Amino acid sequence: MEGMMLEHRHRKRQIAEEQEELQRRMTVLNERMQEEDLEEERCAARYMQNIPQPQVEVFRNADRDAYLWDVMRSRRRNTNPRTRGDCNPMTENL
């Protein structure tokens, strides 16, 4: 009987140690996640500074449909052939 009690206590102690280790690991991971979030915010701020400000204002003030419409229109304007002679039948469906 005493052997079973000792074994049970040993298992409980081992589980408690594993739980403490997991809590320490979670604390470390949460700290790393916070650091990554801060780095992501810094990168986003730097990226926003490099974008032309009129484009930033359009993105902030427009809804998603207006933004997507403007992006598709600008891409069409930049990628469609200018004249019939520029048309490449191999790439016209891309």
Overall number of domains in the chain: 1
pLDDT band at 26 (very low <50, low <70, confident <90, very high): very high
Domain annotation covers residue 31: yes
**Domain encompassing residue 48:** 7-79
The percent of the chain in helix, strand and coil, each rounded to the nearest 5, is 80, 0, 20
pLDDT band at 92 (very low <50, low <70, confident <90, very high): low
Domain annotation covers residue 36: yes
Domain annotation covers residue 93: no
Domain annotation covers residue 69: yes
Q: What is the pLDDT of residues 28-83, one digit of tens each?
A: 999 999 999 999 999 988 887 887 777 777 667 767 787 788 778 777 766 655 55
Domain annotation covers residue 68: yes
Domain annotation covers residue 32: yes
Contact residues for 87 (Cβ-Cβ < 8 A; gap 6+) = 81
Torsion angle in degrees (nearest 10) through CA of 31, 32, 33, 38: 90
Rounded distance, CA 40 to CA 5, Å?
52
Domain annotation covers residue 49: yes
Domain annotation covers residue 34: yes
What the block records as the tokens of 75 is: 């891409």
Q: What is the pTM of this model?
A: 0.47
